[in-house]
């Protein structure tokens, strides 16, 4: 197949509106996640077995999971430790003994979870992170019970010394809390929350048992928690050139809460960091390149430039860079984006005669200063190679 035909397959896949499912993709819903169908098609059409695939803004690890499935080597980088935690659990093989340990822990510890802990540290800290003023009484009661129940789960989890099993179970809890609290109206009641934890463990075990066989091969993947402006300092990438870089960076002028959950859609909380035992990020815009409040996007494009200049150093003439990006202002942000890529040494590859875009299903995001010219749920697919 010639390259134009391969591109048209990838474009077709990018427009697919199916729900995210399969393998370990649904372990956690990471904000602005890729469609696995798109990533799978790009890897299949634009790389061969044993090629290296890189995602410098890895998020929830869609690229890494798909690269492993296709027998490619993969490197994923993300500044947000939630992203690296989630991606790591999604791509860590479980041995038979791990399945047994997780199942027996589940049998002994979920049905009897309660919310009667007194003055426990986690609940106090968690409730101090949540603004629940103004929520109804039942909502507050449910919220507090969920927090107390999670606290007991985490207390019991301390006894699970095996890291793989501990991380797996912690992610099952994180996912249940995310589903029951983030943008949930009304907040789930406590019994339902408990059943969510159990269902998560069961479903995740089943999904991993199907993915396991792909994790036994020689195709090692590597995950790094760092800023991608130092991508050229990663030894593995100095010696191996990626054939495909497939990624979705933060979007200029569009506010996506990579680090926060939103209680009732607007009360931001850093709760996921507490659940994972991670330090809070220094600022709310750390993972967006710059504050979305600022109308000027200088810091955004300076960061983009520094990252793609670094990427240019580890790319080869054969590397294809595919990006899905949303913009709030077409004439300014999109043009400036393409200009920045050019300054970093890349030239655009036209995938089709018209610019390719897609409407993202079930997604809206907060875009300040959008001048109605681009609906903010529209993403553009752009391709580049070294000039
Ligand atoms: C749109 S999300 C990627 C979602 C991903 N495609 C998926 O399928 O889950 C963008 C990611 O870029 C990460 N990020 C932001 N600034 C970064 C930086 N300087 N270096 C590396 N990653 C960064 C954010 O933490 C976020 O996870």
CATH of residue 7: 3.40.50.150
**Residue-wise pLDDT tens digits, 76-108:** 999 999 999 999 999 999 999 999 999 999 999
Provide the whole-model pTM. Answer: 0.95
Q: Give, in order, the Cα–Cα distances in Å from 373 to each of 6, 352, 381.
A: 30, 22, 17
pLDDT class of 364 with cuts at 50, 70, 90: low
Distance CA 130, CA 258 (A): 17
Residue 41 lies in a domain: yes
Residue whose CA is closest, atom 22 of ligand 1? 78
Residue 316 lies in a domain: yes
Residue whose CA is closest, atom 20 of ligand 1? 227
Higher pLDDT, 238 or 313: 313
Residue 258: CB within 6 Å of ligand 1? Answer: yes
The reported pLDDT for the residue numbered 150 is 98
The reported pLDDT for the residue numbered 202 is 98
The reported pLDDT for the residue numbered 363 is 64
Residue 108 lies in a domain: no
Residue 235 lies in a domain: yes
**Ligand 1 pocket mutation pick from 229, 250, 308, 380 by most atoms within 8 angstroms of CB:** 250
Instruction: Outline where 189-290 has alpha helix (H).
Output: 190-211, 235-239, 271-276
Percent residues over pLDDT 70 in the chain: 94
The reported pLDDT for the residue numbered 290 is 87
Q: Give, in order, the Cα–Cα distances in Å from 5 to each of 1, 16, 17, 63, 124.
A: 6, 17, 21, 22, 57
Residue 269 lies in a domain: no
The reported pLDDT for the residue numbered 377 is 74
Residue 226 lies in a domain: yes
Structural domain range at position 48: 3-77+220-255+293-386
Residue 184 lies in a domain: no
Residue 253: CB within 6 Å of ligand 1? Answer: no
Residue 308: CB within 6 Å of ligand 1? Answer: no
**Residue-wise pLDDT tens digits, 30-63:** 988 899 999 999 999 999 999 999 999 999 999 9
How many domains, in total, are found in the chain? Answer: 1
Higher pLDDT, 364 or 250: 250
Residue 335 lies in a domain: yes
Q: Is the peptide bond before 186 cis (omega within 30 degrees of 0)?
A: yes
Residue 81: CB within 6 Å of ligand 1? Answer: no
């Amino acid at each position: 197949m010639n390259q134009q035909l391969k591109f048209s397959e990838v474009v077709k896949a990018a427009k697919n509106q199916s729900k995210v499912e399969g393998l370990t993709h649904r372990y956690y819903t990471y904000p602005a996640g890729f469609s696995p169908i798109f990533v799978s098609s790009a890897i299949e059409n634009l790389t061969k077995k044993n090629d290296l695939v890189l995602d410098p803004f890895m998020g929830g690890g869609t690229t890494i999971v798909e690269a492993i499935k296709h027998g490619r080597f993969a490197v994923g980088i993300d500044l947000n430790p939630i992203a690296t935690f989630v991606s790591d659990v999604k791509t860590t093989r479980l041995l038979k003994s791990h399945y047994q340990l997780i199942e027996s822990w589940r049998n002994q510890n979920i049905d009897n979870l309660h919310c009667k802990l007194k003055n426990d540290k986690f609940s106090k800290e968690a409730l101090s992170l949540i603004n629940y003023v103004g929520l109804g009484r039942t909502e507050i009661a449910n919220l507090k019970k969920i927090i107390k129940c999670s606290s007991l789960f985490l207390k019991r989890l301390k006894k699970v010394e095996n890291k793989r099993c501990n991380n797996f179970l912690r992610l099952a809890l994180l996912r249940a809390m995310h589903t029951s609290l983030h943008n949930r109206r009304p907040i789930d009641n406590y019994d339902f929350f408990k059943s969510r934890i159990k269902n998560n463990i069961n479903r995740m075990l089943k999904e991993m048992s199907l993915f396991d066989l792909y994790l036994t091969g020689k195709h090692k993947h590597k995950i790094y928690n760092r800023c991608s402006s130092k991508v050229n300092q990663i030894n593995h990438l100095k010696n191996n050139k990626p054939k495909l870089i497939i990624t979705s960076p933060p979007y200029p002028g569009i506010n996506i809460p990579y680090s926060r959950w939103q209680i009732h859609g607007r009360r931001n909380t850093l709760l996921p960091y507490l659940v994972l035992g991670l330090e809070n990020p220094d600022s709310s815009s750390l993972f967006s390149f710059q504050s979305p409040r600022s109308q000027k996007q200088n810091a955004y494009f300076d960061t983009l430039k520094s990252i793609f200049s670094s990427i240019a150093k580890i790319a080869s003439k054969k590397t294809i860079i595919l990006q899905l990006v949303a913009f709030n202002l077409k004439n300014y942000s999109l043009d400036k984006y393409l200009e920045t890529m050019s300054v970093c040494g890349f030239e655009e590859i036209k995938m089709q005669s018209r610019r390719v875009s897609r409407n993202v299903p079930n997604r809206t995001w907060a875009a300040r200063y959008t001048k109605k010219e681009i609906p903010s749920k529209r993403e553009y697919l752009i391709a580049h190679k070294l000039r």
